[in-house]
Every structure is written in C-alpha cells, then in structure tokens.
Structure 1
C-alpha cells in the first residue's frame, strides 16, 4: 500500500486538475499491478519452499527410519551408550531439517494464512487463528505463521528440541513367540519335503512378523478399504478432521495410499507400507486434552475394484502389512461378490482386527438402515467372519454417514479403544499364523493313524526270508544232519550200499546257497514285492508329500537289496563240511562196531568148524552172529530216533540265521530309512501342533 500511495501522490502533483479523476484511476491500476507482481513472486517463492520442504521431508523420513531401527536394536540390547548415540544423531537430523526452515520470506504466506487461503487456513478449518500447539503444520510457512501468532521470533524454532521420540519396539507375548518359533522350525524341517510355493505363505508370515516386531509397538496401522463410490475417502477425512484425501465424482478418486498419523514415531511403519513423504499427513488435533486416537496411523487405500490394475495391486500389498482394516461399504455394494469372495471370506480368521462400516446411511429411509445392517451381518456370518457382539471377540460392524457425521463419533470412540489396547499388531500376526496353519493343514494332518506297525515289519522280514529260501535251507540242514548221523551210526553193510547208491549224486553234506537263474529271478521279484508292500503300508494315512517321501526312501533302499541278501545268506549259512556231532555219537559208533565184531567173530568161528580147525560148536558162533546181525540195525534205529531232536534244532538254527540275516539287511536298507521319514513327519506334526496352538489327531 506504500507503493500505491507514492504513485498517487506523484500523480496528484503533476497532472492537470481536469485529469484528477483519470490520474487517480491510473494510480489505483498501477498499485493493483504491482500488488499482483508481488503476489506472483510470493507464490513462486511458496512453491519453491514447498518443494524444498518436501525433498527435505523425504530425506528426513529415511534417516528417521534408520535412527528408529538403531534405537530399537539398542533398546533390545539394553545398551545405554547406543541409546545416547542414537538420540544425538536424531537430534542432529531434526535440528538440521528445522534449522534450514528458519530462512525465507513469509509475507505472502502470512497474508494467505490470515484470510484462510493457505495451508494453515485449510487444515485449521478456515479460521484465521494459527494452528494450536501440537497440530499438524505444513513446513516453513505454516510454522512461521504459528510463531508470529504466538509472538515468538522467526528463529525461535531453530533452537527447539525437535528430536524424534524414542520408538518402543513391538513385544509379542510368550504363546505368540512360541508359535512363531514353531513355525520357523516347521519350515526348516519341511524344506526338503515340500515345494517352495507351499511354504511361501508361512515364510511371508515369519518375515512380516519379524519386520513388524522391530517397529513401533505404540502405534496401530489401520487401513480404510472399500469399493468405488463407497465414501471411504470422505470417512477418512471425517476421522482426520481435515480434507486430506481427495473426494469427488471422478472414479477412481484415490490413486495411491495416503497415510495420516496421529502421533510421532510412526515413520518406520509408514516406510514399511511404501508410502512416500508427499503422501503423509497429520490430522487436525485438539491442543487441550490428549487425542483419543493418539497412536493411530490411518491409511486411505485405492478402490479394491478399481479398473486400474496397479490400484488393486497396491490394495493387496498394503492389506498384507497393516494391523487392522476398516471395510467401508455402501447400501448398493455391501453384498458385492468381489468383496466377500476375494477379501472378507479369505480373511475370516482376521475378524478381531476387522471393522465393517456401512456408510451413506443418510440415503436410506426409515428403518431401511437397520435392515441393510442386519443383512450385512448375515452375509458376514456366511463368510465365516465372527461378529464381535455381546462381548465376544470378532469384527465390529457399524453404520455411519460420513456426509452428515452420523455414527462417526461412535466409530472414533471404538477406534480409540481399539488403538489404546495396543494389541492389534499381535492379533494380526496371530491371525496370519492361523491362516497359514489352515493352508498347511492338508500337508501335515489327515486325521488317520499313521506309522509302521510291528505286524508289517514282521511280514516284511518273512517275505525276505522266503525270498532267500530260509525255510528250505533249514529243511536241508536238518536232512543233512540226519544223513550224517545215519552214516556215523549205521551198519557197515548199509553204509556200503548207500555209498554205492549215492556215488553218482552230488554231495549232500553242504548247503546249496546259489539258486538257478529262474529261481533267482523269482527271488528278486519276491524282494521287490516285499518292498512295495511295506512302503504302501508305511505311507498309508500320510499326507501326499510325506507319503511320497516314504515311498521314495523305500525304493532307494531296495536298490541292490537282492545282491546284499545273497551276500548275507552266504555269510549266515552253515560252514562247509560235516555238521557237528553230539557227544553220544562215539558210544553209538562203538556199539555198532561191537555188533559188527560179533558178526565177524561168529562167522570166522563157523568157518573154522567147517574147515576143521575149530571144535564143533554151532550154538555159540550162531548166537554171536545173530546178536551182531540183529544188534546193528537196532543200534542204527535207536541212533536215528535220538538224532531227530538235534537234527531239528540244527535245521531251525540254520533257518533262524538266514531269517535274521535277511531281516537285518532289509531293516538297514529299507525299514530304517522309512522309519526315519516317519520320525521326521512326527516331528513336523508336533511343530505344526505348536503352530496351531491346539492338538492334532494322534498317529
């Protein structure tokens, strides 16, 4: 106005009196032109200041996130020196960022702040008063407006303590930590048996749980999601108290997530969501009492049914990272199949961190709002979403009108209690664990009894014994022992006859351990059949991946099993040569020799009588010969009866050795690998039971 006055005075002294009216008009026009030039210069300066401030905020947000991570690590270690170092670094970062803001012109910004056209006026509800202490300020210009309103000099802010508050990391309770540790062990034990796609969701849950635990536990991240035209951005603005998110008839209106934090220290959480600094806001807060939503980080998401694919991708990405979700539906689309089938039904286990808000109830006449709300509850119940009614844990269902403010206060109060509990993040992680465990149920539990029974083991050993001919080998050993007993205890004349009969046959005092080609092929088929049978019995009732692992272990063990059985049979067979003789054999041989001697003496005596060299006496030699002739077969028959028991035991011992050898070979090559797979399955099933927090059917 000084320039205008100067121009007017100059015109008054130089122009003729008759042009006084035109001179004054030209003076006013020149004054307006100069004022416009000043305004344009100030506008350019404002834009430059806002751009510089935005770049500085982007740099500081990354630095603050790093400082907060270091602070969280230092807090967990209990290192006080590290705490001090982090605080000093944070103070330097905050001081530099705000010290640079203390320079620059503010005349145009001050004028716009006074008439409510600048940022301070917009976020202050249009009043000319400066933003109260603790309210959100839009960088340099708005801060200087607040300083001038408070009567402080422009450089006072540079000396203030702008260090970011200490971030307290999230702490999980004992049961949740135990479940996470069990899931980590479960994934480790299952990597060799399950494919990566099956374990991908479990791995994501572990990563996100560890990432969330390192960040603030004093903040709750809540996303507002909804379909096109549901009014979620309008509800977002109503909760924040200012027009942060753009609303309008153009669809889609929200193109990128916008974050609004009610308190400091949430930079790391917002960085985790991938929201840049230019899309981070602060709400209108009361400078008096403590804000009931302190600790809330509210995120406005794009439309989940947007025609733009990148919008839907952003919705899915952010929904997997937030602590809770507010689903905003309207009377027209509350039963939309996309919402229920793609989001609400799969996230039914997350009911405790879910809000379903029926918006735009002002458009429903009479009791129609209650009817629509009841139908919405019915649909949620069909989706499996537990409703938090009558004190039961579950989803919160409310009816609001963001346009008129009806129900917004109740939603704000409910959100305040929800945020004050500081338990949403842990409940979200627990719900993610439940969902991951439910997806893994078919690969760990079938509800049937599993394992390898003792009867199956015995039948497998019996099949292998039959394949190596253990029974036949025992019978052969028994016959060989009897034959040797007969040879040792039989009469010489009978032994001579048997020698003549068996002269052209192979020796029978050795075990035949090698079978012909056709019998060897038959034995190999028996071994393969035994392996297939035991593998099927061991894998019965197991989930498909573990059943396949058991069968593969059995097949690997069966390779080379027939050859190993042959080698074991050779080592387990009776040693070559005659079987061992019992202690009574010498007595039997002596008795048989005595009978033979009687026959010889009697015969020679009779011969001497015939030749006249001996005195005639038929009775004695005939009696001796009769005793020898009858006594020899009697001794042989008695020895045969006595040899049956030892021969049977000898054959059974030979069969037992072969059976044990075959069973040992089969156990080492087939049963032990199968048992190891079954033991591994039992371990993962126990870990899975820890993950679910409940028992699983015993096997």
Structure 2
C-alpha cells in the first residue's frame, strides 16, 4: 500500500459504488435506531431546552448544545456499522508506528523528521465508511485499506482508524486539524511515551476536558521496550494516578472507564492485545452512542450555571400578598377608606343636624371668598412619593422572585417586572379615581340609608316645636295669647333638647354604615390595585418562572437526573 499503484487501486475502490459484503442491497444502516432509551430522551430534552431558552439566553451559551444536536443528527445519518477511532499523540510518541502496527502494513509515514504526519490519514477495514470520512474531511488520497485489494482482519470489520497530526505540533493548522477531528470521532487512542506522559499540555488541554469521555478513550503507554525491569509498571501506575487527578475514570475491575495499558509499537509487544480490545469495542457498535452521551453530559455541565438555581426559587404567597399590600398603600387605599367614612358621616350630619347648626356652617363658609373652604393645594411630592412606592414595590417583588435563580433567568424575571411597571402608577391613579366613586350614586355622593327621611322628619319636627314655642311666647308677650309661661317653655325646650338628641342619635346610628361604607371604598381600591398589579407585574413574573420550571425539567432530563 506504499506504492502509487496500490494507492490508485484503493482510490478506485473507494470511488466506485461500494457493495456490502453480505450481499444485501444496503449495508449502510442508519444509526438512528440506536438512539433509544435515555439517550433519545436526553437528545429530545436538549432540543426542547435550546428552543425554550433561545429568547432568554445568549447564543454563545447555547452554542455547545446546538453543536451537540447537529453532530448527533449528522452521525445518525451515517453508517452504524462503523466505529471511527482516532490515534492522537505528541511529537515522537510513536502514534504513526502504532497506526501501522494495527493496520499490519506501513500506511502512515514514520521517521525522525518532524512532523511526519501533516494531515489525518484513515484506514478502513470494510466498505461503507465513505460518508464518515467525508464528514472528517479526509480526502480520497489519504484513505487506505489495511491490505492491498483486501479487507484485512475479519475481527476489525467496521473499524475506521485515523492517524492525526501531532497535537503539540509547532504548526497551528496541525493543531486545528487535531481539534476538529477529535470533536467528530467516536473514540480516541491517546499514545504517550515514557518521557511526555505527564506533559501538562496533554492533560490540561485534552485529557482533563475530555474526562467525561472515558468510556471511549484508550490511553496507551508506548515504547515500554525502553523501560528496564519494573519501570514500565511504575510509569503506568503514575499515568493512572495522573488520569485519576484529571477526573478520568479508569476501566478497571470491570467498571466503565478509560482503558490504560502499555505496549511497544516498534517490537509488537502488546499490539495484539490492543487489536483484540479494538475488535470487541468495534463489534459492540456502542461507541457512537457512548460518545454522544458524553457530549450531552459535557454540554449539560456547561449549561448548569444557566439552569440550576441556588436553593428554592419562585414567588411565594407571602411575597405576593406583601406586593399587593404595598400597592394598596401606594394608592392610599386606607386613607381613601377613612375619607369615605368621614364623608358619609358628614352627609349624615348635614341631613340630620339641627337647622341652626347648618346655618352656622353656612355662615362660616360665607366668610370665605368663593363660599367654600379653601382646598389644600396639591403637593407634587405626594404624587412622586406614590410613584416611588409603586416602583419600590415592583423592585422588591422582582428581587424576591428572582432570588436564587441563575443569572439569565433572574434577569428575565426582573425585566418582565420592569416592563409591567411601565405606566403602572398612572393606571393605578385612574383605577383609584374610578374605584373611589360610590357605587349606585349618580351624583357622586354616598348613598343614604332608608332611615334618613325619618330622621330628617324628626329633626324638622323638633325645629317646628322650637318655632311654635317661640311664637307662643311672643304671642303672650304682645297679649295676643293668654299668659302661661310654662307650656310654651316646655314646648320650646322639647324642640331645643330634641334637635341635638336626634342629631346625636343619627350620628350614633351612622357610625356602622359609615364604617362599612369606608371599608367598601377601601376594598374596591385594594381590589382595583391588586387586579392591576397581578395583570401587569405578577402574571408576567409567574410566566417567566413557569418557563424557567419548564426548562429546568428539560435540563434535569438532559443531565441524566443530576440537575
């Protein structure tokens, strides 16, 4: 496969319509059937999560989740019969030598010149992987077969092995190719050597960030033939320790995790064991789903700050009641109720009071220019204070509702409250004016109870008694009537005493209705303010919190119940 003729033969084979080995019309079975169970649910939840969050979160936050969904869709359309495994390593680690040892023929260039691998080279053990190689952007001239004109070892059917450039290459385009391909392959074989196995660049840039992909990771210590005695075991133990510090689970004692062992690609020691591991790994056909599950897990970890609240979040009943109470105070519901009660009692006093008291009040009013007592001029500070109270109430309820929420959703809740508060003070003023008007009273005055006419008649009777007694006395003084001081005095006294008594009785009787009237006015104003507050502020906040709960449930599914 190193001569041009062999390469041409392979290229000819890859460009022809590939026929499946088992004779069926289509051996390119989509992987979609394997997206079942928890993985299918997590992918669906991730799609819902992105859709529900698009208007709330910055696009950069959702970029990784979108990439995972795109890659899942792209991989689903490609062959499920193949597993793409990349061989990655540092300069001089011997990854190209290992690549050739697994293939059984010299495919990837090796030697002292660095870098020897300038572009990804792929070797396939069976047909049907063209789509996968196109996805990796590996050109036809860099696609190989393990043996010229054949399919190689039967146990490796389905394996697509990719030799990558050095991840620590001095050329930026080499490192970019490594990063691009690693994001697309189903599994990775990391090749390290006794000198660079602890290299910080490898652990910090690749192994630690990919710790969640342990089940699709092989870490191979190459060149163990250079280590004398038990040195190989000591280096392997130290390598496992470093991987453990990176957070990468090790597949020991039958547990899922990364596979770690030593070999010598140059002498062939341990290469057969690696081929057997790869054979079992490929035949399971589970690597694409495992890789995708790890990608979803990594995306969920990155999204966690945007969806997981600190403590209990939401808006409790107590906070709602306190907000409505603040609005009621801002519109002066209590003061309006007290004013309505006073107005009711004032009307009762006018209707049931003695005529002489009303004449005195009329005289007092006549002394004032315009005939009415001067009104207290409107104070601008009071209006501003009411508006400030409304704004303070909105800020307080927004802070309470957003407390503990992730920053994007807390901002969304506060923004909904601020939008609802626009023009809220003016609307409350209009509602207050309408709510303060007495119900069923076209002239704007408080309604009168049924006993008022009787009280007015009684007061008029007391006045008539006073007038009658006075005229009686005058008649006696001028000799028109027979003298007799006691009867007219008694009649006049009855009227004089009875008038205030009737007024006092009416005042006492008016306390209850006046109080109820004031309470009714306060209740109407409270209900008006509460209805406006709910519609303009509380309902938008509740809608945002409901949206957050929805995405929170989706996130729990995406994270596999670890949210």
The alignment's TM-score, normalised by the length of structure 1, stands at: 0.75
Match of 1:429 in 2: 292
* Cα separation, 2, equivalents of 1:260 and 1:506: 106
**Is the CA contact (8 Å cut-off) linking 1:463 and 1:530 kept in structure 2?**
yes
Change in CA separation of 1:498 and 1:612 when aligned onto 2, cut-off 3 Å: same
Aligned pairs for 1:318-357 within 5 A: 318-357=181-220
Aligned pairs for 1:174-193 within 5 A: 174-193=37-56
Which is further off, 591-600 or 192-201?
591-600
Which is further off, 263-272 or 527-536?
527-536
Match of 1:195 in 2: 58
Q: State the shift of 1:605 in Å.
A: 2.2
Question: Of 307, 318, 321, which aligns to 1:458?
Answer: 321
Aligned pairs for 1:198-217 within 5 A: 198-217=61-80
**Is the CA contact (8 Å cut-off) linking 1:261 and 1:298 kept in structure 2?**
yes
Match of 2:487 in 1: 620
Q: State the shift of 1:292 in Å.
A: 1.7
For residues 481-500 of structure 1, give each alpha carbon's deviation from its aligned partner in whole angstroms, at most 9, with x where no partner exists: 00101111111111211222
Instruction: Please state if 1:556 is matched with 2:419.
Output: yes
**Is the CA contact (8 Å cut-off) linking 1:220 and 1:296 kept in structure 2?**
yes
Aligned pairs for 1:95-134 within 5 A: none
Instruction: Please state if 1:445 is matched with 2:308.
Output: yes
**Is the CA contact (8 Å cut-off) linking 2:310 and 2:405 kept in structure 1?**
no
Instruction: Please state if 1:484 is matched with 2:350.
Output: no
Match of 2:250 in 1: 387
**Is the CA contact (8 Å cut-off) linking 2:10 and 2:144 kept in structure 1?**
no
* Cα separation, 1, equivalents of 2:270 and 2:7: 38
Instruction: Please state if 1:645 is matched with 2:512.
Output: yes
Segments of 5+ residues of structure 2 without an aligned counterpart are: none
Match of 2:30 in 1: 169
Aligned pairs for 1:560-575 within 5 A: 560-575=423-438
Change in CA separation of 1:379 and 1:505 when aligned onto 2, cut-off 3 Å: farther
Match of 2:524 in 1: 657
**Is the CA contact (8 Å cut-off) linking 2:192 and 2:222 kept in structure 1?**
yes
Q: State the shift of 1:165 in Å.
A: 5.1
Match of 1:24 in 2: none
* Cα separation, 1, equivalents of 2:171 and 2:409: 42
Match of 1:587 in 2: 454
Q: State the shift of 1:615 in Å.
A: 2.8
Larger radius of gyration: 1
Q: State the shift of 1:593 in Å.
A: 1.8
Number of residues paired by the alignment?
553
Change in CA separation of 1:488 and 1:163 when aligned onto 2, cut-off 3 Å: closer
Q: State the shift of 1:465 in Å.
A: 2.2
The alignment's TM-score, normalised by the length of structure 2, stands at: 0.93
Change in CA separation of 1:438 and 1:536 when aligned onto 2, cut-off 3 Å: same
Match of 2:280 in 1: 417
Change in CA separation of 1:568 and 1:489 when aligned onto 2, cut-off 3 Å: same
For residues 467-488 of structure 1, give each alpha carbon's deviation from its aligned partner in whole angstroms, at most 9, with x where no partner exists: 2222221111111100101111
* Cα separation, 2, equivalents of 1:383 and 1:241: 33
For residues 485-543 of structure 1, give each alpha carbon's deviation from its aligned partner in whole angstroms, at most 9, with x where no partner exists: 1111111111211222234389999xx99943232222222222222222222221111
For residues 306-338 of structure 1, give each alpha carbon's deviation from its aligned partner in whole angstroms, at most 9, with x where no partner exists: 111111111101100010101011100000001
RMSD: 2.6
Q: Secondary structure of the residue that 1:502 maps to in structure 2?
A: helix
Q: Secondary structure of the residue that 1:609 maps to in structure 2?
A: helix
* Cα separation, 2, equivalents of 1:488 and 1:570: 26
Segments of 5+ residues of structure 1 without an aligned counterpart are: 1-45, 65-89, 95-133, 135-160
Match of 2:560 in 1: 693
Instruction: Please state if 1:245 is matched with 2:112.
Output: no
Which is further off, 208-217 or 598-607?
598-607
For residues 171-196 of structure 1, give each alpha carbon's deviation from its aligned partner in whole angstroms, at most 9, with x where no partner exists: 21122111111111111111111122
* Cα separation, 2, equivalents of 1:262 and 1:506: 108
Instruction: Please state if 1:631 is matched with 2:498.
Output: yes
Aligned pairs for 1:298-309 within 5 A: 298-309=161-172
Q: Secondary structure of the residue that 1:581 maps to in structure 2?
A: coil
Q: State the shift of 1:659 in Å.
A: 1.9
Match of 1:152 in 2: none
* Cα separation, 2, equivalents of 1:340 and 1:215: 31
